[in-house]
Chains A and B, each alone.
Chain A
């Protein structure tokens, strides 16, 4: 098995594509407004013509590169390129201001590697076990798992749960446009348009919702220029051994937290790094030094945010449920290759299943080597003029969309989803439930209808006690618990 996996993974083309992915991803991660979902979504049309492993190599390289790329702008400019790097600014930027920019960047790169390797170990041990458990899943269990994943995304967004549910239902409703699943006889909400019959393309929706709103909102800040701090030229940038030894515990704790949070749908690197940072501060001997440029702060958040990558891949590969937006897009990429991530993938094509996991490991190692060698060059990207950047990002969005079907209609609803994304994002409505609704909407509907067909009714399906019924119960109970807790908090606040 291992030989087959290695034959699949180890090839010059795959390694080259991982490296390209890491390099481009680092640029996307470093530029505020560009992030992993945009990078992966823009790369999707390119993967059309690639074989499965090269396509996965490119996307995995992009994913790892983006998550780590945010470190550079967070440390040098105090601008987190991605949400995952927000906590890095707390100590990375003060450290850079003290003239220790290279130290901060090398610490971040090393902690990212540790987080990535730890989550890989969890991925390689947990994903096959979970997927074997899920082999017996029928429509009812799939419906339950997908529904629970959607509910979890909303419930996890504390303080914005209600808005998350509104975004979720909007996404689910828009996902119903097109030919109905299961029977395939009803053209729903198409207004007689042939173009609408295939529904809204996931890639177009993702590019519209993520990329366009970022450009539109950043245009207002065209004149804001931040001068980056100088970086000492060197071939490699590695943290001192003493610093690594002192922070092994911090990195491990961050890795465990990051992996666990990555498994939970919708949480992502942003939440992981902030929670890990808060945890490191709470358990530190000198919490008062946090925020002043302390190395512990960078070790904690960078190990956590990179560990979420492996964590998010666990439910995607094992259950077919994406752990974050990028893995949701990766699922789309695999679907384009004719593959459905989930328990059956490990059963039918175990070599490919394990190959995907090992590609994640290689991407992590490449990302580390690339980053310690190019820290000072990547920093230059943050100096790129916005007047050049925005038009080019738009051109890439349009090119990505038009290349799918060479249909101008896709561009029209790209704009429409751009407006929807802007309204949601700027008014504090979370985007992740909206996107996950698009990814899982069909799974939920199709399996709900199949369950009703198999067992006669929803209640009959529910009365078959098993993992499916437990998940459905949780999907109903969790929002109620969340509402009760919210009301209690509000009352306590009012009383105070």
Chain B
């Protein structure tokens, strides 16, 4: 059933895009079908294959087959997604270096505990902290100083 919901959503979004395409600005000199022509062709083709797939699911009795989606937002995966999302949101405010070091340490300590069912020893914690700070700084310097690529600077300028 999950896949049918996914396909139905696709068809609905496609339909909305089809309808919206009639509102695109068109040049009075245009003889190519306008900016809406291509999306409309694609939507029609998409809806056709979606319908064929839905019929296939029903005919093959695949209605009860599981559909992978929700597990992405459960357990360890959810924690990872939340950590990553917070990291991305904080990046422009806190700055690349600080937010990256914080993200790495928090995620590594969490994953380590999950992977080995135990926390790190004090020695390991110090080693991991120092190594990650050094490596993150090296990546930051590599991009900003050597490659001249701008990275978010944040409140502390790094």
Residues of A near any B CB (own CB < 8 A) = 45-46, 48-49, 162-163, 165-166, 169-170, 172-173, 176, 180, 182-183, 185-186, 188-189, 215-216, 219-220, 222-223, 385-388, 390-392, 394-396, 398-399, 402-403, 406, 408, 411-412, 414-415, 419, 422-423, 426-427, 444-445, 448-450, 452-453, 456
Contacts and interface: CB of A to CB of B under 8 A. Distances in A.
Contact of B39 (A166, A173, A216): A173
B115 A386 contact: yes
Contact of B111 (A386, A399, A414): A386
Given A180-B24, A388-B111, 10 more contacts: A49-B148, A166-B53, A172-B42, A402-B151, A406-B151, A412-B88, A427-B68, A452-B31, A452-B32, A453-B32
Contact of B88 (A215, A388, A415): A415
A384 B9 CA distance: 41
Most buried by A among B91, B108, B115: B115
A173 B91 contact: no
B39 A176 contact: yes
A395 B104 contact: yes
A387 B125 CA distance: 13
Interface string B62-92: 0000011101100111001100110111011
B150 A216 contact: no
A188 B72 contact: no
Given A45-B149, A387-B111, A387-B112, A180 B72 contact: no
Contacts of A49: 147-149
Q: Please classify the interface of chain A as helix (H, G, I), strand (E, B), loop, or mixed, using the class held by over half of its residues.
A: helix
Given A173-B46, A387-B114, A162 B149 contact: no
Interface string B124-138: 000010000001100
Nearest to B101: A395
B103 A391 contact: yes
25 contacts: A45-B143, A45-B149, A166-B53, A169-B46, A186-B26, A186-B36, A188-B21, A188-B36, A215-B80, A216-B81, A387-B108, A391-B104, A392-B135, A394-B84, A394-B103, A398-B100, A399-B139, A402-B91, A406-B150, A415-B84, A423-B6, A423-B69, A427-B3, A449-B37, A453-B31
A419 B72 contact: yes
Interface of B: 3, 6-7, 10, 14, 17, 20-21, 24-27, 30-39, 42-43, 45-46, 49-50, 52-53, 56, 67-69, 71-72, 75-77, 80-81, 84-85, 87-89, 91-92, 96, 100, 103-104, 107-108, 111-112, 114-116, 128, 135-136, 139, 143, 147-152
B53 A163 contact: yes
A169 B52 CA distance: 14
Contact of A183 (B30, B45, B150): B30
B58 to A, nearest CB: 14
A179 B34 CA distance: 12
Contact of A385 (B36, B45, B112): B112
B77 A220 contact: yes
Contact of A219 (B56, B68, B80): B80
B115 A222 contact: yes
A449 B38 contact: yes
A392 B84 CA distance: 12
A216 B77 contact: yes
Nearest to A457: B33
Given A49-B147, A216-B81, A449-B33, A422 B38 contact: no
Contacts of A385: 112, 115
A48 B88 contact: no
A173 B47 CA distance: 12
A412 B92 CA distance: 13
A411 to B, nearest CB: 4
Nearest to B53: A162
Contacts of B7: 166
A255 to B, nearest CB: 36
A210 to B, nearest CB: 16
B25 A185 contact: yes
A115 to B, nearest CB: 34
A220 to B, nearest CB: 7
Contact of A173 (B17, B56, B112): B17
A403 B143 contact: yes
A162 to B, nearest CB: 5
A398 B15 CA distance: 33
Most buried by A among B34, B87, B88, B89: B88
A443 to B, nearest CB: 12
Contacts of A183: 26-27, 30, 32, 35
A363 to B, nearest CB: 22
A186 B24 contact: yes
Nearest to A179: B35
Contacts of A396: 139
A214 B151 CA distance: 25
A403 B38 contact: no
The 9 closest A-B pairs by CB, nearest first: A387-B111, A426-B68, A180-B35, A449-B32, A169-B46, A186-B35, A186-B24, A391-B107, A387-B112
